[in-house]
Amino acid sequence: MLWTLRSFMQERSTATLAEISLHLGAEPEAVRGMIAVWERKGRMTKVPLPCGSCTQCDTATSEIYQWLRESAPLSIAPTPADCHLEPDS
């Protein structure tokens, strides 16, 4: 499943935890474990949300991950559609 995750993220570049879980047919907690493997290898990272952190958003849709290509800069994720906060100015 790690290779499936890698292929999915290479194609998408960024995806939410919910999107990854749906694609893999796995629970979010299991997916977090797989993501952790790629994070340790320096290939994936959690993208900071522009609106900061809150407790009102569903974590599966507000956790956004990015596949890191060699020398690719970290991007800022777009605000999730269901975010309840205004973006920081």
The per-residue pLDDT for range 14-70, each reduced to its tens digit, is: 999 999 999 999 999 999 999 999 999 999 999 887 666 666 666 666 789 999 986
Q: At what angle do helices 2-12 and 17-24 cross, to 10 degrees?
A: 130
What is the CB neighbour count within 10 angstroms for residue 49? 21
pTM above 0.75, yes or no: no
Is residue 86, in this structure, part of any structural domain at all?
no
First-residue to last-residue Cα distance in the chain: 39
Count: domains in the chain: 1
Other CB atoms closer than 10 Å to residue 14's CB: what's the count?
A: 15
Range of the domain at 44: 2-67
Q: What are phi and psi of 18, to 5 degrees?
A: -65, -45
Residue of 55, 7, 60 whose CA lies nearest to 31? 60
Whether residue 60 is contained in a domain is answered as yes
pLDDT at 4: 95
